[in-house]
Structure 1
Amino acid sequence: MKKKSILILSFLTLLCVSGFALQRKPKNLLVFSYTQKYRHKSIEPGKESLTKWAKQKGYQIDFSENPNDFSDDNLKKYNALIFLNPTGTNVFTDSQKSAFKKYINKGGGFVGIHAATDFCFEWEWYGKLVGAFFTNHPKIQEATIKVIDNKHQSTSFLDKEFRYTDEWYNFKDLNPEVKVLLALDESSYTGGTMNGNHPIAWYHKFDGGKSFYTGLGHRDECFSDPLFMKHLEGGIEYVLK
């Protein structure tokens, strides 16, 4: 009887240890920053800041500018894909698009930063995933940002309104299913063309996965700004849950 109790106790201990190990399994992130034409100077500072943050969190992080990394075998290693200012059209082959889509279908997370909307214009599915496509932008300038949703982890720490300097994109083909987090006050700067309805950060569940996008992140300085990084980190944590 005593031997049986010891065996049961050992089995339960093994289950607890195994469960703890599974819980402690690190999150794996893939940061993709392929550029076809224009290349943002903020890509390198962005990589550095994300590396420091991932190390603090105990996450594994890889970087890629190679569309060939979008295969079923490779993508299944990652909990989230972070598109850090990529640019270009017709970047992915049909098989790479299929692998990307399967990844999202199976619950994958997607984070788009700034120029992620200036990418893959030919692919309607991608446009719906990221939430919109870029059209144009005025010169870099300060603008007032309104917090539309202050309950999300990417915005809960922000004032109801705040001033910020960046390159403000105008968008087309906005996915009506996105949940807006931040919006620009077009009366506070010059060059907004969205008739006062100008979202600049949003999130949504899409096609089996989760997506977060922020239009901030053009300038190098964004990635050394604690406010922007906390906003971005909150978006990444959202798609990882």
Structure 2
Amino acid sequence: MFSLKNKHAVITGGGSGIGRAISVLFAQQGATVHIIELNTDAAAQTIDEIKAARGSAFGYTADISKQEQVLDVFRQVGKVDVLVNNAGIAHVGSLEGTTEADLDRIYNVNVKGAYNALYAAIPVMKANGGGVILNMASIAATVGITDRFAYSMSKGAIIAMSLSVARDYLADNIRCNTISPARVHTPFVDGFISKNYPGREDEIFEKLSKSQPIGRMGKPEEVAALALYLCSDEAGFITGCDYPIDGGFIKLNN
């Protein structure tokens, strides 16, 4: 079950955190993995790990907010069976704490970046007779989170775009779903805490961990396992759906 043998999977931000876990697992399941990353060192480390386990992986340096760079990567990749739009950035601030530059930065990476990959992938998938798209959203798209105005905006857009893509390309055998994680312990989270709460790292980590009713943050590998299912043939009857993976955050936080 859940084999990706002979499939080509493009994963944005596949060098670290959730993207790395997805890249490694997809390669283990037989996919040829194509990682799009700005951080070439991170991408190289993930690729080395995959190749050490006798998997197949390639890396491409590109800024996903730049459409021509993304189109050029997809021209190099050629066949695309699976697209995982995972790359993203965060911002802390209410509306009043969000400058125009902040909003543009979040939009360009989180929304336009996903659009650029979709724009590049869908014609290729149509020509190949179909494909699977998984876009990484967040619980912030559907639950009010303090001081996450721009980030929440971007993840709400991801869910809306995914529904549109799922509906428009039904006849082309293209499925599109989203995953909405709560807090997942990644290097991104550690850096985020250090940057925004200097001197209070342990306190904030504990607070964020306990904000999930299950009592801890998620693991990248747990998100990757859900991603594998949704991108596999076993999930062939699923499209246009959002899957929270949140330790009970949405339903049990009362």
| Rg larger in structure | 1
Tell me the TM-score normalized by structure 1.
0.36
Greater fraction of residues in strand: 1
Greater fraction of residues in helix: 2
Tell me the TM-score normalized by structure 2.
0.35
